[in-house]
Structure 1
């Protein structure tokens, strides 16, 4: 194989596929990237056996072929080269050379034929989405998903499709995020609405990174075991989390008779200040809703205390609730508007948070005992 490729073209492509490569692998070849020289470019692929990402970069292909190169070393080398550099990559036997101007590197390779390829079953559901919509759904829910929980079905984001809408839900058992978006009708092969899949946490992270800010359409192809995502020249294939997601609607409290509204940025600032003296292990804050005012209080085992107060749009009896500071700050980061609405019942019940007027999103936070 022999190709000539611009550094400005190769580096973004490496960034797309390189994120999936783990620093420690069960198989040595998983530390490599596969490069396949095609007629008018080079296709790159990375995999960890759970997720596979491939993309294409324009290149002058002088000799076809395929090679695998050490991912981290290749990315670091290309990143270090001049921005306007033109790179020659040539492979022979178990070595590959990379030349740019007066810089020359020789890398060891592994057989391209040994690079794993994920099996993709026939899709049961196909859906085209606006890229910004999918990014919004994941950005607003990913913070609430669990990581390495024994309840493996919580280690990801649930996507529920059907009825002209797409719903994203994530929970770790202490908080829940649900966001709804409009979507076209599904193209299915016999499956009835709604269709549910659980996207693993690492896939969610990689997908959010790939979605970026462009507005082009995204194609989702789903089966019982895999998710396939097309974003222009980039294709991601991921295994799905097997199992039944909990009935999330039961976790969302209804009929909450008390509602308060508060400025988002002022609340964020007050929480960040009071959190300085909160218990480092539990990060609890006592939030007191009173007519016209919101009081925050934290304390720690050293008997240090912090208090803050801000204006509140609320008329009702005084209620004090304990919350995890980090959970509230995560919700504030997901809310778009300048004002937050909080619905609650008492100190023992979960509270519903959302941006004022944002009926398509719900954030539930369970109370803490302080």
Structure 2
């Protein structure tokens, strides 16, 4: 195998592949990236047995072939090469080494046989559709903060992607919850997605997928089966197993009758919460919201270190209410608001609170209160 490739294209492909590789591996081949050169391009494939990413790049292929090499080491070498360099990678079958040459730099890396590299079994996908990158980006970006990190509740360790009845008919919906907060985001249902089985996309896959969604013009081909999900662009294919579990009935925890309505400038609210939470070293310290006629007082009382209070002008016309929330949860939810105003809907100091962006019901958040 021998091919030459521009350093920028090589770095982009290798960086995407190596990020899937687990740093601690008991199986040596899983630390490697499979390089396959053929025709007028080269592809880089990496896997941790749950996720597989294949990245394609144009290259001048002198000798077709394939080998595997340590993904992290290759990424570090390419990262440190000068911009614009032409990089040549060569391996002759007998040496078991991969030569990497760029200008006056020359590296030689140990390889492992390509036959040992596990390739994820292809699956029959029941549903195939395309979606615009900004649509998928919004669905996953706005929901992923609520993914649970509790390993015992493994079925909450991802984003539940499914078809549901939204305000304006059927919608493609993403939901995540950790039991303390919940995010439910809807988008228009793409053509072909009507029969999609509901799947739980793992947290790591959500992180890797985000790298495919930066180009606003990009169309993403999505394929879904009961056990796998695949996202593909012309250059990259990301395939992942889905979490084998049943996502709980989240609709039961979304309050429907919260009548006390607070409207507040989302950016000012987030900054004020951040400021008053500074006096507490505990991340989970409660921020108390005291609501009265068009007035909100945010306060934190930390006996060991001090207390803080800030007043905001808001739109609120219901009876007085004192309610407390985990400061971190409030900040995360407030930071999801793209519009100017956040709307909070309360029932009482002991009931879940609903938050949305203005009158837009396509993104709904629920947060559980704390005692203050």
Shorter chain as normaliser: what TM range? Answer: over 0.9
Choose which of 109, 118, 123 in structure 2 pairs with 1:121: 123
**Unaligned 5+ runs, structure 2:** none
After TM superposition, list the pairs within 5 Å mapping 1:312-331 onto structure 2.
312-331=314-333
Question: 1:169 corresponds to which residue?
Answer: 175
Secondary structure of the equivalent of 1:259? Answer: strand
Distance 1:214 1:18 in 2: 24
Task: List, as ranges, runs of 4+ consecutive aligned residues in structure 1 with deviation greater than 6 Å.
Answer: none
Deviation sequence 1:271-292 (CA, Å, 0-9, x none): 1111111350522111111111
Deviation sequence 1:178-223 (CA, Å, 0-9, x none): 01000223367xxxx5631000111111111221133221111111
Alignment TM-score, normalising by the size of structure 2? 0.95
Distance 2:113 2:347 in 1: 63
Offset at residue 353 of structure 1 (A):
0.7
After TM superposition, list the pairs within 5 Å mapping 1:199-210 onto structure 2.
199-210=201-212
Distance 1:302 1:103 in 2: 58
Change (3 A) 1:213 1:289: farther
Secondary structure of the equivalent of 1:243? Answer: coil
Offset at residue 366 of structure 1 (A):
0.4
Alignment TM-score, normalising by the size of structure 1? 0.96
**Unaligned 5+ runs, structure 1:** none
- 2:72 counterpart of 1:72: yes
Alpha-carbon contact 2:183-2:366 (below 8 Å) kept: yes
After TM superposition, list the pairs within 5 Å mapping 1:355-366 onto structure 2.
355-366=357-368
After TM superposition, list the pairs within 5 Å mapping 1:232-243 onto structure 2.
232-243=234-245
After TM superposition, list the pairs within 5 Å mapping 1:6-155 onto structure 2.
6-92=6-92, 93-155=95-157
Secondary structure of the equivalent of 1:49? Answer: coil
The two structures, once aligned, show a CA RMSD in angstroms of 1.4
Question: 1:338 corresponds to which residue?
Answer: 340
Question: 1:304 corresponds to which residue?
Answer: 306
Distance 1:43 1:95 in 2: 19
- Of residues 103-112 and 146-155 in structure 1, the stretch that sits farther from structure 2 once superposed is 146-155
Offset at residue 149 of structure 1 (A):
3.1
> How many equivalent pairs are there?
366
Distance 1:132 1:257 in 2: 33
